[in-house]
Structure 1
Amino acid sequence: MSPRISPLRATAAAVALCGLLAGCAGTSASENGQGGDANRFISGDGNVTEYKPAGRTGVQGVTGELLDGKPFKLADLKGKVVVVNFWASWCAPCRGEAPSLQHVYTENKDKGVEFLGVNFKDSKANAEAFERKFKITYPSLFDADGQVTLAFREVPPSAIPSTLVLDRQGRVAARIIGATTYSKLNPLVAKVAAEK
């Protein structure tokens, strides 16, 4: 039996997903989605929001299938800092930030930091080709229908790409709307990883 969601939260989640799927809210939409159809993404400006520990929201019930077909539960990573990046192979800013994400992952993976991609509104073949091209070594959930992304409705990503940094309790400590860079993401990860 699934938990009940209040009408206000359901509406907020629907608006956020609508923005991701169709570019119907917020800033300018650019570049066609998968297959050149009418799906568009909102291009964020790389704005960073940090949340103090007392005001952080937990992320619950994130499960799905990785691109390699294995099942995944975000709850299994509790106790680690987790960087969650929402991306798609058809998204030009995602291609631009991919090397920076891999660089930050490589530098932090031995410090109790995990990375998880969420591949949004994409084909599996294109997503796998993207990972090969950019030599991405961390796992990604395959989210062709947007259901995984909805699980983040409490602090929605709001754009493709977007990146969330989760603290060791599984709460959102920072959010980047739009493409990120090494110099923007690495200090955020280090700051959250240093928390006791």
Structure 2
Amino acid sequence: MSAASRAPLTIAGAVVTALLLSACTAGGKSGGSGDTGFVMGEDGIATVKRGERDAAPDLSGDTVDGKQLDVSTYDGKVVVLNVWGSWCAPCRAEAPNLEKVYQDLKAEGVQFVGINTRDTSTKNALAFEKEYGVTYPSLYDPTGKLMLRFEKGTLNPQAIPSTLVLDREGNIAARSLAALSEEKLRKMIDPVLAEK
């Protein structure tokens, strides 16, 4: 492989490394300034007004249980994306909250999808899902390539865990970069679910 053909791989590797160095954090307040179009609330939840939202990128691939999933098949539903790893303590803390809210809201047109990252095999991810009773699907993204599809300046996942709420058109409406309680998760979802 020539140096010129390795350059894009090196850059992508550096971006993934930077993202993963911030992994498994308690989250923080970032964004919300300049011309990003989103506002960071006191609760650490960033939101974007309807009509000003960016489309989510293509999020498709293998799930941790070996099936195929394309998030775009959920257009027309509110989609909650949660980036997690089995090794991440805040991910373990929020997992029961995510499952509870999913069970409460799935009949109302809300679909949860996990994005499992940095697990070197699906064995640990499957054990995590079993231990915490997670019933919604999770894409398997061990190297972070799905997260790199989010454009800079959008409400992209920047830490592990990160949670995004997509509106019914597949646009990014809200983001949290911290483990979520049921209350905060519902606070993210409810305004988007109320949109007609």
Q: TM-score range by the shorter chain?
A: 0.7 to 0.9
Match of 1:130 in 2: 128
Q: Residue type matched to 2:181 in 1?
A: T
Match of 2:33 in 1: none
Say which of 27, 45, 48 aligns to 1:44.
27
Tell whether 2:17 aligns with 1:18: yes
Q: Distance in 1 between matches of 2:118 and 2:174?
A: 24
Question: What do residues 89-133 of structure 1 show as CA deviations (whole Å, max 9, x unaligned)?
Answer: 100000000011001101000001000000011131110000000
Q: Residue type matched to 2:177 in 1?
A: I
Shift of 1:55: 1.7
Q: Residue type matched to 1:18 in 2?
A: T
Aligned partner of residue 186 in structure 1, secondary structure: helix
Match of 2:165 in 1: 165
Q: Residue type matched to 2:71 in 1?
A: L
Contact 1:16–1:158 (CA under 8 A) maintained in structure 2: no
Q: Which runs of 5+ in 1 are unaligned?
A: 1-10, 24-39
Match of 1:88 in 2: 85
In 2 relative to 1, CA 16–44 (structure 1 residues): closer, same or farther, beyond 3 Å?
A: farther
Shift of 1:191: 1.4
Question: What do residues 144-196 of structure 1 show as CA deviations (whole Å, max 9, x unaligned)?
Answer: 11111212234321110010000000001100011111000113212111101
Q: Count matched residues.
A: 169
Shift of 1:138: 0.5
Q: Distance in 1 between matches of 2:195 and 2:164?
A: 16
1:108-123 counterparts in 2 under 5 A?
Answer: 108-122=105-119, 123=121
Contact 1:16–1:156 (CA under 8 A) maintained in structure 2: no
In 2 relative to 1, CA 15–164 (structure 1 residues): closer, same or farther, beyond 3 Å?
A: farther
Aligned partner of residue 119 in structure 1, secondary structure: strand
Question: What do residues 42-96 of structure 1 show as CA deviations (whole Å, max 9, x unaligned)?
Answer: 4314721011012211012211101111111111111110000000010000000
Q: Matched residues, percent identical?
A: 44
Cα RMSD (Å): 1.9
